[in-house]
Amino acid sequence: MNDALAWPKVSILFLTLNGMDVVERTLDAVFRQDYPGEVEMIHIDSGSTDGTVEAAKRHGVETRVIDPAEFHHSRTRNLAADLASHPILVFLTQDAVPADDQWLRRLVAPFEDPRVGGVYGKQIPPEGMGALRGYALRCIYPDTR
């Protein structure tokens, strides 16, 4: 996949709730991606009161706000998927900051093989993450496959 026409269109489905401590870094990293294909951002916020929605607006991202009582891990992701208009869906939570500007290319590249139906990216525990959560992430996403 060399040119923009060969890269599939991607919808990034971004879910947040009071994520100002990290949402700016996540959005900055998303918008720094070196991805030649078309990308749309679908943002669902579950009632943030800390400026998360305003941060998304500063990045040019339209937000659909739902009542916190409506949030459900599966149903809210399904809502975001229903709003997407592109064939590749990338689910991204506020605290999963892309590590570099090639993240989206690497995530999408396997779809060149028509037998691929889904991929995932390793979540790397950030500096300062609590020991228990960091341990859990290292177990879920080990250094080797």
Q: How many CB atoms lie within 10 A of CB 52?
A: 26
- 136 versus 23: which is more confidently predicted? 23
Query: What integer pLDDT is reported at residue 120 of this predicted model?
Result: 87
Query: What integer pLDDT is reported at residue 3 of this predicted model?
Result: 55
For the chain, percent of residues with pLDDT exceeding 90: 74
Instruction: For residue 123, give the DSSP letter.
Output: P
For the chain, percent of residues with pLDDT exceeding 70: 94
- What b-and-e string marks burial along 90-114, b requiring 16 or more CB atoms within 10 Å of the CB? bebbbbbbbeeeebbbebbeebeee
* Across 28-52, average pLDDT: 97
Residue 2 has pLDDT above 70, yes or no: no
- 4 versus 90: which is more confidently predicted? 90
Residue 5 has pLDDT above 70, yes or no: no
CATH number of 10-140: 3.90.550.10
Residue 98 has pLDDT above 90, yes or no: yes
Number of residues that make up the chain: 145
Query: What integer pLDDT is reported at residue 72 of this predicted model?
Result: 96
Query: What integer pLDDT is reported at residue 121 of this predicted model?
Result: 85
Residue 104 has pLDDT above 80, yes or no: yes
Query: What integer pLDDT is reported at residue 62 of this predicted model?
Result: 93
* Across 122-132, average pLDDT: 75
